[in-house]
Amino acid sequence: MEREKPTFDILGRIEQERLARGWSEYALAENSGLTQSTISTWRRRNLQPNVASLEKICSGLGISLS
C-alpha cells in the first residue's frame, strides 16, 4: 500500500501570518531580511522557499519553523 504524502501549504501559511499582522509583502521582506521581489516571485510562480529562507521568514514573523 502506498501512503499519501501529507501536504502543507507553506506559501498559504506565510500569507496567513503576514496578513494577520497587517503587513505588506515589503514589510515581511524587511522584517525577514529578504527582498520583496523574492517573496513576490514565490507567490506568483508558486515556488517553495528553501529552508534558509523559511528560517528567515519565521524569524521575521516571530514564529518557529516547527
DSSP annotation of 65: -
- SS3 at position 22: coil
Full residue range of the structural domain in which residue 51 is found: 10-61
pLDDT band at 66 (very low <50, low <70, confident <90, very high): confident
In a domain, 55, yes or no: yes
pLDDT per residue as tens digits for the range 6-35:
577 899 999 999 999 999 999 999 999 999
* Rounded Cα distance, 45 and 65, in Å: 22
Number of domains the chain contains: 1
User: CATH number, domain at 22?
Assistant: 1.10.260.40
In a domain, 5, yes or no: no
In a domain, 4, yes or no: no
Alpha helices for 4-50 (secondary structure H)? 10-20, 25-32, 36-45
* Rounded Cα distance, 35 and 28, in Å: 9
Please tell me the pTM assigned to this model. Answer: 0.81
In a domain, 1, yes or no: no
Give the length of the chain: 66
